[in-house]
């Protein structure tokens, strides 16, 4: 019980500090710091309590990392709240509640490990900068290097990907060779920048001696508070099978200009962008509607009519805020609306959906039914007990 209490108090402290710290460092950075499994300890920024210390790298005493506190809480709840607890009518509510909470924390863990999240932008009319039909989603934060072979001006063969796990940690001078056995070359990656944009060396000198390629270099910028706004950059070079080393080139998700590699008489194009992942069916946007409360700029509704196309079968689906489409293990949410090129005043013609693949999507809902029922049962029994005992054993008035 002592451990449970301590863990709950620590978790509350972590939540409180993370709430305050996200004001300064943004949500993504704060979550990585407080609740990521790679962080067994957290050093809260002292500026959350003493604003004058902002940016001075002063820290409060460390606390255990949130991920591990939750993990320990699950173990503690399982052992103490499910296994060792006295079983009987009096404790059944508590046991149910404990089980529900464990289930919920597990759902959170599964989501953190397994969840994939992207965005699908569709236009009512193709040609407005976005497709009308798509079967893929683009990740919000993850990038990827995409390698495609070009034959006779057309793409040929499989597309090869290098996931960001291979280069996200390559800060400063760190470099890594990525072997590509199916291709006639390997890649050496280095100098990953979370938020960068290409800058002409003619307009400013590289501030930290960054490599200049064809008159351009990658200028590192402060990471955005919303990580999806960041445009990562990377330095790479081609390693030939004959041991030859190519020149360093720049990959930027800001510019998105591809780099062409010729090796073994074959031509490949390397591009760097937010990761694209497939959706097992097609989605076609029929109508996007945005409405505002009359004579105001306050949004009233955002909704889209789409057609889901799977193996040639078409289903009409309506998606609006608070009413996503759940299908095939994926959930499509109404995320944004834009006025396309052809859109009249305020009439949306581009609709953006957030696409989430999360196996534990509905688990929290089930768990709260269980916990809520368990807690209500337990406390109602207690209340009944209190009321009846109170009646049978009246105490003197003050």
Partner 1 sequence: MNATIGRWIIFALGLCAVTWIVATALRDSRPEGDTRTVSGYKPWEEETLELAALLPVQDGGRVKPLGTFAGFTMLSLHGARSMEIIGEGGEKVKIKPLEWMLDCFFRPELAKELPTFRVDNSEILEAVGIETRGRRDRYSYNDLAPGLDKMKQLAASYEQISRQDPKLLKPLEKQTLDQVYNIRTFEFLTGYMDFARNGLLPASGKVEGKILPVSEVMAAAPKIRAELQAAASGQPVSQEVQTITVLIEQAANSAKFGLNLFPSKNKEDAEWISAGGRIFNIFTGTTREPEQSIKDIKMLEDVATSLKSGESAFREKFAMLEASIVERAKERDEYRSIPLEADYFRKNWFIYALVWFLAAVVSAAVMFFTGQTKAGKISYWATVAFLSFGLIYLIIPIVKRSIIMERPPVGNLYDTIIFIDMAIVAFALLVEWMTRKRFVLGITPIVAAFLIVLARRFEVGEGRDHLDPLVAVLRSNYWLSTHVITITLGYASGLITALLSIVYVLLRSLRLDGGDTSLRRSITRAAYGCICLTLVLSLIGTVLGGIWANDSWGRFWGWDPKENGALMIVLWALAILHARIGGYIKEWGLHLASIFGGIVVAFSWWHVNFLNVGLHNYGFAAEKLWTVVVFYAIMSGFILLGAVTCLLEKRAKAVKTAREFGVKEPVEV
Given 50, 318, 386, 388, the residue binding partner 1 (CB under 8 A): 386
Query: How many degrees, rounded to 5, is the angle at CA 279 between CA 278 and CA 280?
Result: 115
383 counts as binding partner 1 under rule CB under 8 A? yes
- CB 296: neighbour CB atoms within 10 A? 8
- Find the DSSP H helices in 266-362: none
396 counts as binding partner 1 under rule CB under 8 A? yes
How does DSSP assign 224-245, residue by residue? Answer: PSSGGG---EEEEEEEETTS-B
Min separation Cβ 224 and partner 1, Å: 13
Given 44, 191, 324, 343, the residue binding partner 1 (CB under 8 A): 324
Min separation Cβ 334 and partner 1, Å: 8
Contacts of 215 (CB under 8 A, 6+ apart): 200, 201, 202
Contacts of 214 (CB under 8 A, 6+ apart): none
- Find the DSSP H helices in 213-325: none
Site string for partner 1, 104-143 (x = CB under 8 A): x--xx--x-----x--------------------------
Min separation Cβ 368 and partner 1, Å: 4
Among left, alpha and beta (phi > 0; psi -120 to 50; other), residue 245 is beta
Min separation Cβ 147 and partner 1, Å: 31
306 counts as binding partner 1 under rule CB under 8 A? no
Which is closer to partner 1, CB of 91 or CB of 148? Answer: 91
Which is closer to partner 1, CB of 186 or CB of 354? Answer: 354
Which is closer to partner 1, CB of 49 or CB of 341? Answer: 49
- How far apart are alpha carbons 218 and 197 in whole angstroms? 6
Closest CA relative to residue 305, chosen from 265, 279, 281, 332? 332
- The window from 39-47, 184-192, 267-275, 369-377 that contacts partner 1 (CB under 8 A) reads 369-377
CA distances from 330 to 163, 221, 282, 333 (A): 22, 34, 13, 10
Min separation Cβ 125 and partner 1, Å: 24
Q: Write out the binding residues for partner 1, residues 170-199 only, by CB under 8 A.
A: none
- The window from 7-15, 151-159, 242-250, 259-267 that contacts partner 1 (CB under 8 A) reads 7-15
- How far apart are alpha carbons 234 and 236 in whole angstroms? 7
How far apart, in Å, do the first and last CA atoms of the chain sit?
Answer: 35
CA distances from 350 to 290, 296, 301 (A): 10, 21, 15
Which positions lie near partner 1, rule CB under 8 A? 1-2, 4-5, 8-9, 11-12, 15-16, 18-20, 22-23, 27, 30-31, 35, 104, 107-108, 111, 117, 225, 292-296, 298-302, 321-324, 331, 333, 335, 354, 356, 361, 364-365, 367-368, 371-372, 375-376, 379, 382-383, 386-387, 390, 395-398
């Amino acid at each position: 019980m002592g451990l449970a209490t301590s863990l709950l108090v620590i978790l509350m402290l972590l939540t409180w500090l993370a709430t305050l710290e996200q004001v300064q460092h943004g949500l993504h950075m704060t979550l990585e710091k407080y609740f990521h499994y790679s962080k067994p300890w957290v050093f809260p920024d002292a500026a959350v309590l003493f604003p004058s210390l902002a940016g001075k790298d002063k820290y409060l005493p460390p606390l255990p990392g949130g991920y591990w506190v939750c993990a320990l809480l699950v173990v503690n709840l399982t052992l103490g709240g499910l296994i060792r607890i006295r079983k009987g009518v009096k404790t059944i509510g508590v046991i149910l509640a404990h089980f529900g909470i464990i289930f919920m924390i597990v759902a959170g863990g599964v989501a953190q490990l397994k969840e994939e999240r992207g965005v699908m932008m569709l236009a009512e009319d193709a040609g407005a900068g976005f497709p009308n039909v798509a079967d893929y989603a683009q990740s919000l934060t993850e990038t990827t290097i995409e390698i495609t072979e070009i034959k006779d001006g057309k793409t040929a063969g499989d597309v090869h990907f290098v996931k960001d796990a291979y280069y996200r940690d390559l800060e400063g001078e760190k470099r890594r060779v990525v072997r590509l056995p199916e291709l006639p070359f390997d890649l050496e990656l280095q100098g990953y920048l979370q938020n960068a944009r290409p800058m002409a060396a003619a307009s400013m000198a590289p501030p930290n001696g960054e490599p200049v390629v064809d008159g351009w270099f990658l200028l590192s910028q402060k990471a955005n508070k919303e990580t999806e706004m960041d445009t990562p950059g990377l330095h790479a070079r081609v390693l030939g099978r004959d041991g030859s080393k190519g020149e360093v080139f720049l990959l930027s998700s800001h510019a998105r200009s591809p780099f062409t590699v010729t090796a073994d008489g074959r031509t490949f194009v390397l591009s760097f962008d937010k990761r694209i992942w497939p959706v097992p069916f097609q989605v076609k946007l029929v109508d996007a509607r945005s409405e505002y409360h009359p004579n105001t700029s306050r949004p009233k509704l955002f909704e889209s009519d789409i057609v889901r196309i799977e193996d040639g079968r078409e289903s009409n689906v309506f998606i609006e805020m608070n009413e996503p489409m759940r299908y095939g293990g994926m959930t499509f949410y109404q995320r944004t609306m834009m006025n396309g090129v052809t859109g009249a005043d305020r009439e949306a013609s581009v609709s953006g959906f957030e696409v989430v693949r999360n196996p534990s999507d509905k688990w929290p809902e089930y768990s709260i039914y269980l916990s809520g029922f368990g807690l209500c049962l337990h406390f109602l029994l207690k209340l009944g007990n209190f009321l009846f005992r109170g009646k049978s054993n009246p105490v003197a008035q003050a």
